[in-house]
Structure 1
């Protein structure tokens, strides 16, 4: 018998959190492991471990639910967006959400969403190989499929629902989502620095501080990539920088 799903509830409204907690308590093999009221608390709680699923509201103070979703680590908990707003579903699934549940939440609908998350937690059958980083990334173009070595990729961005991969060979549109690129490219070099951007630190020549608390990353080819405030904190930790060291270049 599989262990119960450990569920983190994230909503800035106390009434909404209590309602979700009651619904979860009535479901089999599910338990609430915590409640938080903003996106940064979601990230902190997930880093501490012990979370299988996040029931995540979109409109919260500070980081929105979509911002937090984009910044969750690869291999982290599954996310179910729980919101009163139906117009963010495409973006939610682009960032890897397993389901999108509208408020007011129905118990049967929540149970269905949690079962979907539970099925994704199960290990793949023996006949299926898990996704692994690619030696070369295939990018379909009008001239054929371009095979690009991961180390040649400087960054990738999402614009108008299309992802562009920037490489030493040129810039290419791809059918991969940013989340799929995160899963397929080497984790040690690539960082999801914004909900619309993936960055290879090996190609960054300078990080320029922004008033928002984030950075503007400049690549060797002269491109700029925005780094969100939360991702900036992660980069400072990874690079061993103190808060006052933003002016130092990375290369």
Structure 2
């Protein structure tokens, strides 16, 4: 028998939570481990542990569902969005959502979404009574030195240290000799230089796209070509980040795009 998926229901509407709870009660190998009415409650429940899946609404008081997802710890629970707003689906999948279910949620559709979660879970030969802890892949000494000591990056600001999940950072830019870090929690002026930030953030997601900008590709929804040969990167929160011509070449190679005429030079 499979171990039950522990599901957290996150929706600010009581009727929506009751419907999801009723549907989950009829499904095999599923247990409801709690309910949350806003993003802060979601994060608190996840920090407490015992959550495998979050059924997450988009629009909630305070943090939106997308904001809350961006603050979940690495290796945290899977996210299935359950919402009436279809227009956020692309962004949700770009941020790593397992599925995007539109309200009113139907039993068969919810079960299919949960099976997608099951498919992403590694099969374990270890008996349930001796459940093994996940073992992270080995890291090179160079990457180990670059890895932050905490799941959240401490950003020194004039108001003190702000702890931010790297996944929640969309970009950082230099204006008038000051660096601003743009996050799901807000935007913060910091004493870090762009080079210092780049050294502290995961290189697989963050790229120096301009001498005055550092960009998290996970937050980019569109790349608009510029006459200079570069791009204007649009983020999920509606910000614009200029990508230089050389960095645009690097991005095309990274994304596996066909070379343009400007890439044919020596």
- Scaled to the shorter chain, the TM-score interval is 0.5 to 0.7
Partner of residue 49, structure 1: 49
The partner residue of 1:195 within 135, 159, 168 is 168
- SS for the counterpart of 1:110 is helix
| Cα deviations by residue, 1:18-65 (Å, 9 ceiling, x for unpaired) | 000000000000011101100000000000001110000000000000
In structure 1, runs of 5+ residues without a counterpart are 137-148, 154-185, 200-204, 226-251
Partner of residue 101, structure 1: 101
Q: TM-score, normalised by structure 2?
A: 0.55
CA separation in 2, counterparts of 1:84 and 1:19?
14
Partner of residue 129, structure 2: none
Partner of residue 28, structure 2: 28
Partner of residue 122, structure 2: 122
Structure number, greater radius of gyration: 2
Higher relative contact order (CA 8 A, sep 6+): 1
Aligned length: 172
Partner of residue 81, structure 1: 81
The alignment status of 1:9 with 2:9, answered yes or no, reads yes
| Cα deviations by residue, 1:199-250 (Å, 9 ceiling, x for unpaired) | 9xxxxx9999xxx87633343248688xxxxxxxxxxxxxxxxxxxxxxxxx
In structure 2, runs of 5+ residues without a counterpart are 126-134, 153-164, 173-177, 196-211, 215-266
- SS for the counterpart of 2:35 is strand
Partner of residue 39, structure 1: 39
The RMSD of aligned alpha carbons is 3.5
Change in Cα spacing, 1:60 to 1:5, as seen in structure 2 (3 Å) is same
Contact residue 180 and residue 187 of structure 2 kept, 8 A: no
Partner of residue 141, structure 1: none
CA apart distance, 1:188 = 2.9
CA apart distance, 1:187 = 5.2
